Structure 1
Amino acid sequence: MTRSSADGMKVTVLGCSGSVPGPDSPASGYLVEADGYKLVLDLGHGTFGALQRYVDPAEVDAVVISHLHADHCIDLTAYVVALRYGGEGYRLRGPDRRIPLVGVPGTRDRLEAAYDPLARKLGLHELFAFATPTADELGPFRMSYAQVAHPTPTNAVRIEWQDRSLVYSGDTGACPALVELAEGADVLLCEASVAPDEDLVPDLHMTGRQAGEHAEKAGVERLIVTHVPPWNSPQVAADEAAAAFGGPVEIAAPAAEYWI
């Protein structure tokens, strides 16, 4: 059955491997769509290639970056090359057509350094309209953010459309701010990086059980575990989460589509 935006928000997984791209998945990246609006949420290693399966890069309406670790942002450098040098489907059209790029303070400097030390002279501001996160609207979406527990400034993101809501944890250790942001959400897309037999470093990443505990405390409807590195088992993370959360638990997979 063909579905449309009338059925809700559509989330397509561009990549979900934790920390590095894996043999079966790029690193973190998601495409969120409703009412014809296309929002890219994180753009880690390999995700720009996956993005092109679903949308012309020039037709993306906005990009939101949770934080500046490479597995969540480094493919912005590929995006710059495509927008600057690509042909039809890659070139921005219109006299003031720039893609809003929302990220923590320092996002532009990080992109300039990763792309080319001379990038400031190459005019990245002509491609992206840089902004810091604020509770505001992006197209049809109501956006809100919470700083979570990670070594570099990192935002969890809540995206609301009509009466539907998606919360993305970004990278985080156990964090009350994530529970508060996710309260009552339809879906929590939550990292579960740490295996049960690994040392748990505070304020870095979470286990599957902790992802389930956060979902349970927030009272969300569904939990999707993500950001499991290739040396760990997504199924173990999901089983751990299910032991702590009373609702449905799913495992993010590359190219998977979720309707919210």
Structure 2
Amino acid sequence: MSDDFTVTVLGCSGSVPGPDSPASGYLLEAEGYRLVLDLGHGAFGALQRYVDPADVDAIVISHLHADHCIDLTAYIVALRYGGEGYRLRGPDKRIPLVGVPGTRDRLEAAYDPLARKLGLHELFSFATPIQGEFGPFALSYAPMNHPTPTNGVRIEFGGRSLVYSADTGESAELVALAEGADVLLCEASVAPDDEFVPDLHLTGRMAGEHADKAGVDRLIITHVPPWNSRQVAADEAASAFHGTIDIATPGAEFAV
């Protein structure tokens, strides 16, 4: 059995979906276990290219900004009304959904603010982030530097590790979470000519600096808004990090 696991990019556009990519969403797979990490605008549509929605084993949502979670509302519709491949099977086939406190309230409000008896507990089993195992994966979390509660996530399997920055400004916690990781999947939202707002997002160079400080082997640049250049963000990162740098693009699959 290979010790590698894979991450497929469902969407990587920052802040809004772009003309060539949904917003944030990633599918992680190992030993037949499917873990979805974030599900922003349009990512649920992309997910269906790779797996039946009812066969997803767990979902982790980093934070409650729409570009990271809003397609959970589409997931509700599919699980409630979809045909084969969408309906949950078995006496308790609810999908574990891990998110910051308030995730269920946010999802109910986004789906239908007038409906308070949605029965979402019939579709998802809600939990807040706690270090532990999901199938073959071991997950740990750290709070990121963002205006709303946000968790970076470290996912480990078979001696390999991937860290997802989610959204963050400069963050010692991200460096600590990513220490020695094989892959850092890191946001780089801010272009060189953008006005820089502290404690919100990273530039490409900052993403490279975090990867360098953490001593990771590989940096994957993601969450670049459609009005900015992914290549410019990667080039900026290369000025601070001299390991392998890749650019997340929709549909790309990376072995960790």
Q: TM exceeds 0.5?
A: yes
- Find the counterpart in structure 1 of residue 5 from structure 2: 9
Please state if 1:173 is matched with 2:169. yes
Tell me how far apart the structure 1 counterparts of residues 54 and 100 of structure 2 sit (CA, whole Å): 23
Tell me how far apart the structure 1 counterparts of residues 93 and 226 of structure 2 sit (CA, whole Å): 38
Matches within 5 A, 1:60-139: 60-139=56-135
- 2:162·2:184 contact (CA, 8 Å) conserved in 1? yes
Q: Secondary structure, in 3 states, of the residue corresponding to 2:116?
A: helix
Deviation for aligned residue 1:162? 1.2
Match of 1:218 among 190, 214, 217: 214
- Find the counterpart in structure 1 of residue 38 from structure 2: 42
Tell me which moved more, 6-15 or 66-75: 6-15
After TM superposition, the score normalised by the length of structure 2 is 0.99
- 1:209·1:244 contact (CA, 8 Å) conserved in 2? yes
CA displacement, residues 44-85 of structure 1 (integer Å, 9 cap, x when unaligned): 000000000000000000000000000000000000000000
Deviation for aligned residue 1:120? 3.4
Sequence identity (%): 80
Residue type at the aligned position of 2:5: M
Structure 1 stretches of at least 4 aligned residues deviating more than 4 Å after TM superposition: none
Tell me which moved more, 119-128 or 152-161: 119-128
Deviation for aligned residue 1:122? 2.0
- Find the counterpart in structure 2 of residue 156 from structure 1: 152
Residue type at the aligned position of 2:55: E
CA displacement, residues 150-188 of structure 1 (integer Å, 9 cap, x when unaligned): 000000000000100000000000000000000000000
CA displacement, residues 105-153 of structure 1 (integer Å, 9 cap, x when unaligned): 0000000000012443120000000000011111110000000100000
After TM superposition, the score normalised by the length of structure 1 is 0.97
CA displacement, residues 193-227 of structure 1 (integer Å, 9 cap, x when unaligned): 00011111111000000000000000000000000
- 1:7·1:259 contact (CA, 8 Å) conserved in 2? no
Tell me how far apart the structure 2 counterparts of residues 96 and 170 of structure 1 sit (CA, whole Å): 30
- 2:108·2:118 contact (CA, 8 Å) conserved in 1? no
Please state if 1:209 is matched with 2:194. no
Q: Secondary structure, in 3 states, of the residue corresponding to 2:84?
A: coil
Tell me how far apart the structure 2 counterparts of residues 129 and 89 of structure 1 sit (CA, whole Å): 19
Please state if 1:235 is matched with 2:231. yes
Let me know the Cα RMSD of the aligned residues. Answer: 0.8
Residue type at the aligned position of 2:79: L
Paired positions, count: 256
Residue type at the aligned position of 1:78: A
